[in-house]
Amino acid sequence: MPCDGAITFSDLTGKLDMLGGACPHKRRREGTLSSANRYIGGETMSRIKLSRLAVRAAFCLLGVGVTGAANATTYTLTELNPVGVSVASNISFAYGVNNAGKVAGHGTIGTPGSGYEATTWKGTTPTALGTLPGGSGANFAFGINETGQVVGGSNGFQVSPYVTSSQATIWYGTTPTALATPPGLIGSQAIGINNIGQIVGVAGTHAIIWNGTTPTDLSAPNGNAGAAFGINKFGQVVGESYPNGIQRATIWNGTTPTDLSTLGGQTSTALGINNAGQVVGGSSINPTGPQNNYAFIWNGTMTALGSLPGTAGSAAYAINNTGQVVGTSSFFVGERHATVWNGTIPTDLNTLLDSSGVGWLLVDAFAINDVGQIVGWGFNPHGQQHAYLLTPSHLCLPQAKPVRILDDDGHPAFIRVDCEDHDRDDGRGDDHDPRRGDDQRR
């Protein structure tokens, strides 16, 4: 990361590209999309010892308010520990959450350096997902849909005597299935999945969509490198491609790519899309010079979302179907704070925690469901890098009513949050599929 703490596109590109068997706790600091390792977040970073109160006090001294905090909701935090956590330095990250509150991510297993385990959490209970035969045992999870299907990658597959690669993977329960890699490409990673099971990700240096386990190369028509990070119910895919070698946010309708342009700079990337076709990501703003990046939303045209006061840049990672956006903002001192946008107003999530979040520093917010629950990672009061689940505090009140959302068919569904274990009190178990039509209709 540059010394000014600005977010660069090496920080934004891909939720994870582990094609070469990366160390997930280290961020790729420069370069462009390749089969080298890249990580959006979850890296070991120097924690600047500023509490949330100190940051807010600094804003007050500067005469700057914490944008959006006055009218924002508060959140109850649930810590998501890795499976079998027994080592103080064990790490966990959360990347996806569905409307049933089930979370997907990964955490370290055993002693530090022994690898990562793809994990789902229901409440605070972690479940390790199975490993593809033939791999090293290290695997990662990044996306989850409403039926509980999880996608990611499994590492350590030997492609030559001296080279190993990652294999895109889907888990049905705890059973892993390999997703095919197009001929001529080495290594693959699945990053997003919609509710009908279409999967997107990357293979080699190409953006890929899988229908079932069969891949379609989205980069093949124009020969540009690329990566796919998100997909909505209509099969619209977002990510990035490299026309003339320049990274640009891209949306694919079918296999036809459209360049979403930039906020005035040279480069951009698209990281999330909702069912209304709204796209979020990050874009540079300077035509020349340093390519510091700022969050955007695209809805036919690209609009800047801005960043927190006193920060050097931002990135929007996800948008839900009600238009709430989550991501991160980076301070000049190099510290990032998880951020939520309502409209174009950013709010530091660290300022919105109730007593359950005392002592935490939330770094990245990677996903938000339609109930408003947010997942990501941060530093807990003991300085450990752990995943978290945030639930709007008003949903935890005894008198809280079920939340009304729309399923993919446009029908209303009602979900009740039980904050005792962050499970759903619907009596239908983890495998309930809201698309079956057996939700309460009103």
**How far, in Å, are 101, 268, 300, 345 from residue 7 at the CA level?**
30, 12, 25, 19
Q: What is the pLDDT of residue 260?
A: 97
The per-residue pLDDT for range 217-241, each reduced to its tens digit, is 998 777 789 999 999 999 999 999 9
Q: Which two tokens stand for residue 305?
A: 């979302």
Contact, 324 vs 274, CB < 8 A? no
Residue 367 has pLDDT above 90, yes or no: yes
Residue 54 has pLDDT above 70, yes or no: no
List residues bridging with 386 in a β-sheet: 378
Task: Give residue 431's pLDDT band: very low, low, confident or very high (50, 70, 90).
Answer: very low
Q: What is the pLDDT of residue 86?
A: 60
Cα Rg for the chain, rounded, in angstroms?
20
The per-residue pLDDT for range 261-298, each reduced to its tens digit, is 999 999 999 999 999 999 999 999 988 766 689 999 99
The per-residue pLDDT for range 107-130, each reduced to its tens digit, is 987 655 567 899 999 999 999 998
The per-residue pLDDT for range 180-223, each reduced to its tens digit, is 999 999 999 999 999 999 999 999 999 999 999 999 999 877 77
345-367 mean pLDDT: 97
Buried b (16+ CB within 10 A) or exposed e, 210-223: beeeebbbbbeeee
Q: What is the pLDDT of residue 207?
A: 97
The per-residue pLDDT for range 309-344, each reduced to its tens digit, is 988 899 999 999 999 999 999 987 778 999 999 889
Q: Which two tokens stand for residue 194?
A: 């919609």
Domains, in order of start, for the chain: 9-428 (2.130.10.150)
Residue 222 CB contacts under 8 Å (≥ 6 apart), including other chains: 241, 243, 257
Q: Which two tokens stand for residue 17?
A: 């590209």
Q: Which amino acid is at 340?
A: V
Residue 58 has pLDDT above 60, yes or no: no
Contact, 82 vs 108, CB < 8 A? yes
Q: What is the pLDDT of residue 35?
A: 24
385-395 mean pLDDT: 93
User: Tokens 């009740």 — which residue?
Assistant: 416
Q: What is the pLDDT of residue 77?
A: 97
Q: Which amino acid is at 60?
A: C
Residue 407 has pLDDT above 50, yes or no: yes
Q: What is the pLDDT of residue 142?
A: 98
Residue 302 has pLDDT above 90, yes or no: yes
Contact, 273 vs 319, CB < 8 A? yes
Of 113, 112, 77, the closest CA to residue 94 belongs to: 77
Q: Is the pLDDT higher at 248 or at 66? A: 248
Average pLDDT over the chain, rounded to whole?
79
The per-residue pLDDT for range 147-177, each reduced to its tens digit, is 999 999 998 777 777 777 899 999 999 999 9
Q: What is the pLDDT of residue 21?
A: 29
Most confident option among 4-13, 303-312, 371-380: 371-380
To 5 degrees, how large is the angle CA 353–CA 354–CA 358?
Answer: 75
Q: What is the pLDDT of residue 27?
A: 30
80-102 mean pLDDT: 86
